[in-house]
Amino acid sequence: MFIEPNNSGERRGSIEVICGSMFSGKTEELIRRLKRVKIANQKVEIFKPAIDIRYDQVKIVSHDATAIQSTPVENSQQILLMAGDAVVIGIDEAQFFDAEIANVCDELAFRGIRVIVAGLDMDYLGNPFGQMPNLLAKADYITKLHAICQKCGNMANYSYRKVADEQQVLLGAMDAYEPRCRNCYEKKD
């Protein structure tokens, strides 16, 4: 999504949301878009929730080990404070942020900033996850990605939890989750 100047020469802000299940390539797509922004020499700031330390304390890292430098933050308000003169803001794992993340993204877009956000749209129970529904409602552009079902090979949009833990937030990768299609997710075997 390209930000065109309007008639007054100001940038038009926007919110792009990349969503889907675990292992669908959300972070990989976020990194791809942010690298293109850097190639265009646009000022970019990248953030992730401080609790996400699965692969790296600071970098955003996809499951296939693609990485980009980011700033871990404790809450969404810190993003507003640290946005500086960025033209583009990248945010990973949006489902882990507090209730203000959608408003923060809205504020940034009203400032003329292109905001690119990635996150799980559903939790392991198949319910909307965190603030993702609010982000999707405010988004100018939505990209829904799908993984491949580990059971049957069809398109997957569910994150099946393989371990017995009922907390909504359980950080993990292939050790704890696998992508499944609707039918295989329902079978729970």
Annotated catalytic residue 29: no
Catalytic pick among 16, 29, 93, 178: 93
C-alpha pair distances (Å), 134 with each of 29, 81, 95, 168: 21, 21, 10, 18
3-state secondary structure the chain: CCCCECCCCCECCEEEEEEECCCCCHHHHHHHHHHHHHHCCCCEEEEEECCCCCCCCCCEECCCCCEECCEEECCCHHHHHHCCCCCEEEECCHHHCCCCHHHHHHHHHHCCCEEEEEEECECCCCCECCCHHHHHHHCCEEEEECEECCCCCCEECEEEECCCCCCCCCCCCCCCEEEECHHHHHHCC
Q: Specify the amino acid at residue 182.
A: R
Catalytic positions are 93
